[in-house]
Amino acid sequence: MRPSSSNRTSPQPNPSPEGEGLARIRPFTGKHMAAILVAGFGVVVAVNFTMAGLAGSTFGGIVVENTYVASQKFNGWLDEAKAQEALGWKLVASRRPDGRVVVELAAAPAYPDVTAIARHPLGRQPDMVLTFVPDASGAYVSREALPEGRWTVRFTVEAQRQTWRSEQAIR
């Protein structure tokens, strides 16, 4: 039994007012595929170059000069960290409105020497050495004002032939 002609699919006439007849569908060719591939890979390459440019412009430098030597010293650094933790000293740092850094020490011996190196996280400003003097409240205040922005400050506290180190972010 043959299907009736009403079940067959056939091109529909174009309902345009000009009466042009059937709508023309263009076939997908190799040129279309080539354009899609070029556009897709173009986007990938553009994103890669953009990300590489941003990464290169924001990296502040190397973390250690020689990774092999650093790996050999790693266990010694862990031992120093355990000894430092056993001291129980605590440090809280903040920035005053005038830009000076205030350090409050807890459980540290009296009259320690407090110094610090302030590093801009992205290396856009040079490192700053900060020296601290005690104030009337018992806190330690830097002699130097720290410029505005984000800084990573590495503190060194020395008292009674013991050294304690800490690192804090200051905004």
Predicted confidence (pLDDT) per residue in 143-164, tens digit:
999 999 899 999 999 999 999 9
Task: Give the pLDDT confidence score for residue 21 in this predicted structure.
Answer: 57
Q: What CATH number should be reported for the domain whose range is 67-170?
A: 2.60.40
> DSSP secondary-structure letter at 74?
H
Locate the DSSP E strands across 49-161: 90-95, 100-106, 113-119, 128-134, 140-145, 151-159
Mean per-residue pLDDT, 89-113: 94
Mean per-residue pLDDT, 119-145: 92
What pTM value is reported for the model?
A: 0.62
Task: Give the pLDDT confidence score for residue 11 in this predicted structure.
Answer: 55
Domain ranges within the chain, ordered by starting residue? 24-59, 67-170
Report whether pLDDT(3) > 60.
no
